[in-house]
C-alpha cells in the first residue's frame, strides 16, 4: 500500500497543482476583470465628479452674473432703493437713493435707519414700520429731509424681504423724488387759475369799461362847467385820476389775460429801441427831469424778427419799473448787443439797468407772479406780462437785483425765430 500510496501521491500532487494553478489563474482573471471594472467605475465616477464640478462652477458663475446683473439694475434705475435688515440696520442704498437723499452709501450702510433718518421722520411711513408691523405701503407720499436739511416730497412703497423658505430677512423701500411733478402740478393749477381768472377778468373789464367811460365823460363836462378857479376842481381832478387808474388796471388785466399771439416782422432792433425810448422820454419822463436814459447800443446793424407792438410793452414795462424804483433820480442804462452763443442765427441781448432801490429776497422770489406788487396802486402785472411776451418769442428774462443798489434786467431772445 505504501509505495502505491506514495506514487499516487506525487501524481495527485501534480494534478492538484494543475487544479490549483487553473483555479488560481481563474481567480486572477476574475480579479483582473474586477479590477478593470473598478477602474472603469472609478473613471466613471471621476467623470461624473468632474461634470458635477463643472456644473457647480457654471452655476456659481451664473449666480455671480445674476447678482451683478441685479446689482447693475439696482444702480441704474432712477428709483431710490433702500433695504434694512431685521435689526434695523441699512444694508442696501443704491445710486438713485444717494442722489435723491444726498447721502453717500458709505455714510449709511451698516448704520441704524433711525440714526440716519430719524430727525423729523414720520415713523409710520418707513420700512422700519413695515418690518415691525408687517404692514406694507403702496404708492404713498411723504415728505423727508435730505442730508442738507431740504424738505422734499417723495413717492414711496415698502415691502417685506424674505428668503426662498419664507424666513423674514428685513424690509425694503423704493422711492422717487416728486419735487418736479409737484412743481408741474402747481404750474398747472396756476395756469388753470389764470385761465379762469382771465375769463372772469375779461367779463368784468368789459362791464366796467362802459360805466368808466361814462364817469370819465361826465367828469370832463364837470371840469369845464366849474371853471378853472372853482375850488371843487380838486375833487373833479381826483375823479379823473381815479378813472385813469381803473382804466389802466382794466387794460393791463386784458393785456395779461389775453393769449399771446405774435405778429412778427423784420425789425431794425436799434431803431425800434430808439423810437420806444423816445416815446417813453416824452410820455413818462416829462415829469421826471431827474431821470435820464443812457443808450449803449452795439455798432453793427441788428435786424431781428419780433412782434414790435408786443415787444414795445416789454420795454415800456421795464422802464416804468426802473423809474418807479428811482425816487431820487439817476441814469437808466439801456444796452443792446447780439451774440452767437445760442445758435448760428445768434441772439439779441437787451439789458436795462437802474441804480434804484433794488429788491429784497421776498420780492425776488415772487417777481413774476401776477398781481404781486410792493407798490401802492401797482397792478403786479408788469413783469408777468414781460415774461409772457418774451417767452412767446422763445426768449428768457433774467433779473439781478441788490437791495439799495439797483436792478439789472436782461432779456435774451433768438434773432430770427420765425
Which residue number has the CB closest to ligand ADP?
A: 382
Considering only residues 363-402, where is the footprint of ligand ADP by CB under 6 A? 363, 367, 372-375, 378-384
Enter the C-alpha cell of residue 289: 427831469
CB atoms within 10 A of CB 270: 17
Nearest to 100 by CA among 158, 23, 180: 180
The answer to whether residue 94 forms part of the interface with ligand ADP (CB under 6 A) is: no
The mark string for 321-360 relative to Mg ion (x by CB under 5 A, - otherwise) is: x---------------------------------------
Q: Which is nearer to Mg ion, 110 or 327 (CB)?
A: 327
Cα distances (angstroms) measured from residue 102 to each of 44, 141, 174: 59, 19, 16
The answer to whether residue 329 forms part of the interface with ligand ADP (CB under 6 A) is: no
Task: Give me the phi and psi of 185, to 5 degrees please.
Answer: -60, -45
Stretch that binds ligand ADP, among 186-194, 227-235, 242-250, 319-327 (CB under 6 A): 319-327
The mark string for 171-210 relative to ligand ADP (x by CB under 6 A, - otherwise) is: ----------------------------------------
The answer to whether residue 253 forms part of the interface with ligand ADP (CB under 6 A) is: no
Q: Which of 90, 97, 302, 325 binds ligand ADP (CB under 6 A)?
A: 325
Cα distances (angstroms) measured from residue 175 to each of 71, 118, 276, 350: 17, 17, 53, 44
Q: Which is nearer to ligand ADP, 171 or 381 (CB)?
A: 381
The answer to whether residue 281 forms part of the interface with ligand ADP (CB under 6 A) is: no
Beta strands at 140-145 and 396-402: parallel, antiparallel or unpaired: unpaired
Q: Which is nearer to ligand ADP, 127 or 358 (CB)?
A: 358
**Which conformational region is residue 394 in: left (phi greater than 0), alpha (psi within -120 to 50 degrees), or beta?**
left
Q: Which is nearer to Mg ion, 228 or 377 (CB)?
A: 377
Give the span between the Cα atoms of 269 and 348, in whole angstroms: 9
Q: Which is nearer to Mg ion, 158 or 379 (CB)?
A: 379
**Residue 357 near residue 403, CB atoms below 8 Å:** yes
The answer to whether residue 327 forms part of the interface with ligand ADP (CB under 6 A) is: no
Shortest CB 307 distance to Mg ion, Å: 20
Nearest to 351 by CA among 408, 401, 311, 396: 408
**Cell numbers 445758435 label which residue?**
343
DSSP 331-382: EEEEEEEEE-SSSTT-EEEEEEEE-S----HHHHHHTTSTT--SSTT--S-H
Q: Which does 359 bind (CB under 5 to 8 A by kind): Mg ion, ligand ADP, none?
A: ligand ADP
The answer to whether residue 382 forms part of the interface with Mg ion (CB under 5 A) is: yes
**Residue 274 near residue 295, CB atoms below 8 Å:** yes
Q: Which of 321, 338, 353, 412 binds ligand ADP (CB under 6 A)?
A: 321
Q: Which is nearer to Mg ion, 80 or 382 (CB)?
A: 382
Stretch that binds ligand ADP, among 69-77, 135-143, 279-287, 315-323 (CB under 6 A): 315-323
What distance separates the 2 farthest-apart alpha carbons in the chain? 189
For binding to Mg ion (CB under 5 A), which residues are involved?
Answer: 321, 382
For binding to ligand ADP (CB under 6 A), which residues are involved?
Answer: 317, 321-322, 325, 354, 356-359, 363, 367, 372-375, 378-384, 407
Amino acid at each position: 500500500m505504501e509505495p502505491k500510496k506514495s506514487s499516487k501521491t506525487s501524481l495527485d500532487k501534480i494534478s492538484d497543482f494543475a487544479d490549483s494553478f487553473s483555479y488560481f489563474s481563474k481567480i486572477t482573471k476574475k480579479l483582473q476583470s474586477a479590477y478593470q471594472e473598478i477602474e472603469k467605475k472609478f473613471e466613471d465616477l471621476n467623470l461624473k465628479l468632474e461634470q458635477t464640478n463643472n456644473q457647480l462652477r457654471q452655476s456659481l458663475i451664473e449666480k455671480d452674473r445674476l447678482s451683478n446683473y441685479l446689482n447693475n439694475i439696482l444702480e441704474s434705475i432712477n428709483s431710490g432703493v433702500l433695504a434694512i435688515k431685521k435689526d434695523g440696520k441699512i444694508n442696501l442704498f443704491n445710486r438713485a437713493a444717494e442722489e435723491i437723499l444726498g447721502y453717500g452709501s458709505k455714510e449709511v450702510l451698516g448704520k441704524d435707519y433711525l440714526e440716519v433718518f430719524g430727525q423729523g421722520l414720520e415713523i409710520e411711513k418707513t420700512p422700519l414700520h413695515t418690518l415691525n408691523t408687517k404692514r406694507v405701503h403702496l404708492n404713498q407720499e411723504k415728505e423727508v429731509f435730505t442730508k442738507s436739511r431740504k424738505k422734499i416730497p417723495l413717492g414711496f412703497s415698502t415691502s417685506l424681504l424674505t428668503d426662498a423658505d419664507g424666513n423674514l430677512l428685513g424690509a425694503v423701500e423704493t422711492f422717487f423724488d416728486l419735487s418736479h411733478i409737484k412743481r408741474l402740478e402747481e404750474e398747472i393749477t396756476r395756469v388753470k387759475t389764470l385761465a379762469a381768472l382771465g375769463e372772469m377778468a375779461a367779463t368784468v373789464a368789459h362791464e366796467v369799461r362802459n360805466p368808466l367811460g361814462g364817469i370819465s365823460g361826465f367828469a370832463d363836462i364837470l371840469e369845464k362847467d366849474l371853471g378853472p378857479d372853482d375850488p371843487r376842481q380838486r375833487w373833479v381832478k381826483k375823479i379823473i385820476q381815479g378813472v385813469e387808474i381803473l382804466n389802466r388796471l382794466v387794460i393791463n388785466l386784458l393785456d395779461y389775460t389775453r393769449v399771446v399771439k405774435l405778429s412778427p416782422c423784420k425789425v431794425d432792433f436799434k431803431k425800434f429801441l430808439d423810437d420806444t425810448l423816445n416815446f417813453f422820454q416824452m410820455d413818462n419822463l416829462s415829469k421826471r427831469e431827474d431821470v435820464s436814459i443812457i443808450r449803449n447800443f452795439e455798432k453793427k446793424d441788428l435786424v431781428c424778427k419780433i412782434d414790435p407792438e408786443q415787444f414795445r410793452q416789454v420795454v415800456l414795462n421795464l422802464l416804468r419799473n426802473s423809474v418807479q424804483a428811482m425816487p431820487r433820480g439817476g441814469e437808466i442804462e439801456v444796452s443792446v448787443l447780439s451774440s452767437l452763443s445760442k445758435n448760428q442765427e445768434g441772439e439779441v441781448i437787451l439789458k436795462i439797468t437802474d441804480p434804484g432801490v433794488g429788491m429784497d429776497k421776498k420780492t425776488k422770489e415772487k417777481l413774476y407772479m401776477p398781481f404781486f406788487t410792493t407798490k401802492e396802486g401797482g397792478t403786479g402785472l408788469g413783469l408777468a406780462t414781460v415774461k409772457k411776451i418774451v417767452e412767446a418769442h422763445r426768449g428768457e428774462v433774467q433779473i439781478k437785483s441788490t437791495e439799495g443798489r439797483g436792478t439789472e434786467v436782461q432779456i435774451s431772445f433768438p434773432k430770427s425765430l420765425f
